[in-house]
Amino acid sequence: MASPADSGGFETCAHCGARLSGSAWFPATTRGDGESFAVLSFCDGDCLTAWRER
């Protein structure tokens, strides 16, 4: 699984690493651990669901 820090932030899917392009809307979620906060983007709903189920 790619992480936003490793894969270019909002430019790639946080689950599969696919490149996100253009100004299209992409599903997103957030993750925090009390010390840091991240917004994760996904190429589609299936990747968001798979990431949530991991």
In contact, 51 and 26? CB cutoff 8 Å: no
- Domain ranges across the chain: 4-53
pLDDT at position 6, please? 45
pLDDT at position 14, please? 94
Distance of alpha carbon 36 from alpha carbon 19, whole angstroms? 24
- Beta partners for residue 32, in sequence order: 37
pLDDT at position 16, please? 96
One digit per residue, the tens of pLDDT, for the chain of length 54 reads 444 444 445 689 999 999 998 778 899 999 999 899 999 999 999 999 999 998
Q: Is the pTM of this model over 0.85?
A: no
Buried b (16+ CB within 10 A) or exposed e, 26-35: bbeeeeeeee
